[in-house]
Amino acid sequence: MATTTTLAEADQSVGYAARIEHVSKSFATPGGRQLVLDDITLDVAPGEFVTLLGASGCGKSTLLNLVAGLDRPTSGSIATDGRPALMFQEHALFPWLTAGKNIELALKLRGVAKSDRRDRAEELLELVRLKGAYGKRVHELSGGMRQRAALARSLAQESRLLLMDEPFSALDAITRDVLHDELTRIWEETGLSVLFVTHNVREAVRLAQRVILLSSRPGRIAREWEVGIPQPRRIEDAPVAELSLEITDVLRGEIRRHGQH
């Protein structure tokens, strides 16, 4: 039986931000049901930064949507520490609202009193290095600034688990590198647990404490790596490059294996 719950509804003694147990997901197609995820078991510890890596179509975003509660697994169970916050590849900010009002909307939906929303929105903008941007419209923000505002809106939900679906993939390399630094800083300052989807191997190694590689169609956990490289890290650091090459070789093997079927 497939289930999705919060830890508050499950076992309070479980010390995990997310627990994914034997999760499979299939979708109906004209030719029958297609298995997208097969028997995924994964824990994310409190305060841990985990990246999900794999080729396009391996089910990374599907798994993230299941953890977010946007869909239900076909089989298996998922438990999370409260309701997760989800940050998409696109910023999804409402263009008719200012940066600050976008954040206030998330605060309102969480039940924060109207008298407290402006101050809290300002605090979150400062946390993501957007101090003074409260009154700016979306079209006045650069791509990087929009993603910072989207991150602030996600943080406004005060979830202990942040789910990120390739949030920096549309940005140029320099802006992406800056936001890697900012995300690392915010993760360290807040103690959040992060589950981050990417197809960029160096990004995965740059950010994570643990990298999970999914195989292709159906997605299974093919391998995982503990990243023992101290933060702060840079994309161009030799240890990051060395581990990235190792992971890339395994990923290429998974892609070749799939291509032979």
On the question of pLDDT at 51 being above 70, the answer is yes
β partners of residue 210: 50, 226
Tell me the H-state helices in the chain.
60-68, 99-109, 114-127, 143-155, 173-190, 201-207, 238-259
SS3 28: strand
Residue 48 banded pLDDT, cuts 50, 70, 90: very high
Mean pLDDT across the chain: 88
pLDDT digits (tens, 9 = 90+) for 90-144: 768 888 999 999 999 989 988 888 889 999 999 999 998 899 889 999 899 888 8
Alpha carbon separation from 33 to 60, 166, 234 (Å, rounded): 19, 27, 43
Q: With CA atoms as reference, report the closest residue to 80 among 39, 43, 36.
A: 43
pLDDT at 225: 97
Residue 243 backbone dihedrals phi, psi, to 5 degrees? -70, -35
- For residue 231, pLDDT over 50 is answered with yes
Residues 6+ apart with CB under 8 A from 103: 120, 121, 124, 125, 149, 152, 153, 156
Whether 5 has a pLDDT exceeding 80, the answer reads no
- Fold classified for 3-84+163-259: Rossmann fold (3.40.50)
Quick check: 72 pLDDT over 90? Answer: yes
Question: Domain locations in the chain?
Answer: 3-84+163-259, 94-158
- Give pLDDT, residue 170: 84
